[in-house]
Structure 1
């Protein structure tokens, strides 16, 4: 019926059609509970769209309307808190984080960490994120905590990351960060198995594919070119991806194709000295 159609339009981002379908519904011809769910879906979709446009005032209007229908919705309250943080309305965000913390302690602590980050209070953010992590670890939280620790104390960050990966060996974010650290240290043989695990779990992760191709190249693994091609197919407009693929092609003896791809990389990032050097070497046959 009309409610299902309105919900479908809302879920697929066709918000004008959703509004039109919803306008034709009344509590007389539709189950009130279904009508409320449909209105909630539309408010949520409109809020998301407004956030994507950075129209935070409009997002708040839609979230307030949704919260009138479902005042204790953690999803809606969290979105509102995030909008207040993005709008630099820190006092309101603080109130919301406390309210959410009364319903879900870990979520409230995570939002408090986000608020401290926005206020440029890294030590307080780390403490809040640690409390949230101890209550309920998750991928996003781990990545944010690690990033802050890395800025303040790299040794502590490394220990946290090792603990994270040991506790959750299937964590894509944890594996990706750990493999990155190993790559930076030049430990390709240790990094490769971790990146292969990330590839299994997130096969379209372009950064991981690019790093894996580069690491394969460093150890002489013949999979370097196919994996680099995979990354390039997914992100042909990213200069670093094109550079990796082109350079691997050149080192594999495919000079003509390498020059073509490296020229593409140079067009995408004309100020990159490393790309320029790779292109020059490929053209010279050095």
Structure 2
């Protein structure tokens, strides 16, 4: 990083490694550095939003929304934004975003998030139908 201090790929790689090694504080610092060098880095925005969400940082929702606006066709980005919205109490607002996330990437984790949103918005039958597919 001393040789190429302005290359955003290096702190991003460090952040991914730290996150994988369950070192969230190191990962957060590296993601922040990556964003200083490339403020529209979707991966850094999304992953930092998730780490902030896990630690109840007040900027989690804002970062997730920014990532979503930059990459609305990414299922994982939509899931992060929708799930943070849901957990902040915006159940109705989270529902179309989580539905979109599931449509883009119909994986188990996104399905579970969507099922929770269905339950919270009084759509138990949709939740049950989705969970039966798992």
1:237 is displaced (CA, Å) by 0.8
TM-score w.r.t. length of structure 2:
0.84
Residues 1:203 and 2:39 are matched in the alignment: yes
Residues 1:184 and 2:20 are matched in the alignment: yes
> What is the root-mean-square deviation in Å for CA atoms of aligned residues?
1.6
Higher Cα Rg, which structure: 1
Counterpart selection for 1:251 from 87, 95, 109: 87
Residues 1:276 and 2:108 are matched in the alignment: no
Cα deviation code 1:116-169 (max 9, x no counterpart):
xxxxxxxxxxxxxxxxxxxxxxxxxxxxxxxxxxxxxxxxxxxxxxxxx35444
**Which structure 1 residue ranges, 4+ long, deviate > 3 Å from structure 2?**
166-170
Counterpart Cα distance in 2 of 1:207 and 1:228: 10
1:185 is displaced (CA, Å) by 1.5
Tell me the equivalent position of 2:129.
Answer: none
- Count the aligned residue pairs: 121
1:194 is displaced (CA, Å) by 1.2
Tell me the equivalent position of 1:143.
Answer: none
Please, which runs of 5 or more residues in structure 1 have no aligned partner?
1-164
Counterpart Cα distance in 2 of 1:166 and 1:186: 25
TM-score w.r.t. length of structure 1:
0.41
1:253 alignment partner, SS class: coil
Report which of the two has the higher share of helix. 1
Residues 1:260 and 2:93 are matched in the alignment: no
**Higher RCO by CA contacts (8 Å cutoff, separation 6 or greater):** 2
Residues 1:212 and 2:23 are matched in the alignment: no
1:267 is displaced (CA, Å) by 1.4
Counterpart Cα distance in 2 of 1:225 and 1:197: 19
Please, which runs of 5 or more residues in structure 2 have no aligned partner?
121-134
Counterpart Cα distance in 2 of 1:171 and 1:187: 22
